[in-house]
Amino acid sequence: MTLHIHQERLISDIQQEFNDCYPFLKIELFGTPLKYQHTAPLGSKLPRQLPLKSFAQQVPEGKIQVEETMSVHQLEELFQAVFGLNLQVFRKSGNLWLETTVTDSWTLKQQNEYGRELEEVRMAGGRGR
């Protein structure tokens, strides 16, 4: 998957593109830098409806190739290094979205598959009640 990044893009558009490819994962952008294997600072998540230019002085225009074999940590580092964007990946777990900080070394494919498995278990458990 190729994500196109430029000043006019809305955060929600980037999130939707990513989620279309990885339905059990989502990305959030934060106004303050994140540290490897640390949780995102409370209150610093950026609103989805913002264009990138509204919070970042200079976001270079470019493309980022997102491969399923990339680790979460690699994706987060790439967004920071190339675009100066503070990105965090979350995995669906039932009705919750959990930060992947403990499993940042897992690939995007592994994270998404684990989220899918959790959803299947949840759905199977819900039928018998």
pLDDT value of residue 22: 98
Q: Indicate the SS3 state at residue 93.
A: strand
Residue 23: which domain range? 2-127
C-alpha 9/C-alpha 64 separation (Å) is 14
Amino acid occupying residue 100: T
Hunting for tokens 């959803």 — which residue is that?
A: 119
Question: How much is the pTM?
Answer: 0.86
User: What pLDDT shows up at residue 17?
Assistant: 97
pLDDT for position 35: 60
The count of domains in the chain is 1
Digits of tens for pLDDT over the chain (129 positions)? 999 999 999 999 999 999 999 999 999 999 877 665 455 655 688 999 999 988 777 788 999 999 999 999 999 999 999 998 999 999 999 889 999 989 999 999 999 999 999 999 888 886 544
